[in-house]
Amino acid sequence: MEILVDRNGYEQFMNILDELRSTLENIASVGADVCRDAVGDGWHDNFAYEELMRDEKKISAKVQKMLVDKRYLKVVSEIKQNNDVINVGDVLKIEVIYDEDDIEVFEVRLTGKYLPDLESSIQEISLNSQMGKALYLKNIHNKITYKIHGEEVEIKVLEKNGNIVN
């Protein structure tokens, strides 16, 4: 189970992990203060303490997941082969064919980030998504397919980086 990221995606991953660890340290120090402020109260009577413990468990679970993910990170670099190969950073206009009567057109950017930017003006597609795996390093002229819930979906590349595909 590889998790593909580019150099920026790796840095993003490490920054998120560092932020979560820092947050855990802050929770520990705040937790000590909360306990000190409510000496004698049972833990079940101290709502601030209970909330901190819930937050700590959520963040700890995220950190544990990321530590597992870290073992599977694989840093990929942009491959300068030819213009017909889909690569990290490419902006594509694609036609997604679910059925002969169900076709959608999207403009997407293939990204090597650990977490795609959901606010980007162009929809980012992770290398690790079903669509990203189907597109990455494929020739734009070949038939590209992937499966969603057992159904095959076809992708036709209409444009790559603003150039119309013939």
> Using one digit for the tens of pLDDT, what is the confidence trace for 144-159?
999 999 999 999 999 9
CA 166 to CA 130: how far, in whole Å?
Answer: 25
Question: What's the pLDDT band for 90 if we cut at 50, 70, 90?
Answer: very high
Given a contact cutoff of 8 angstroms between Cβ atoms, the answer to whether 73 and 13 are in contact is: yes
Which sequence spans correspond to the domains of the chain? Answer: 3-75, 91-164
Given a contact cutoff of 8 angstroms between Cβ atoms, the answer to whether 148 and 87 are in contact is: no
The pLDDT value given to residue 142? 92
Contacts 24+ apart (CB under 8 A), 72-77: 72/1, 72/2, 72/3, 73/3, 73/5, 73/10, 73/13, 74/2, 74/3, 74/4, 74/5, 75/5, 75/6, 75/7, 75/9, 75/10, 76/4, 76/5, 76/6, 76/112, 76/127, 77/6, 77/7
Quick one: CA dihedral 162, 6, 20, 69, positive or negative?
A: positive
Neighbours of 160 (CB within 10 A): 19
CA 4 to CA 125: how far, in whole Å?
Answer: 12
What CATH number is given for 91-164 in this structure? Answer: 3.10.50
The pLDDT value given to residue 163? 84
Model's pTM, two decimal places?
Answer: 0.82
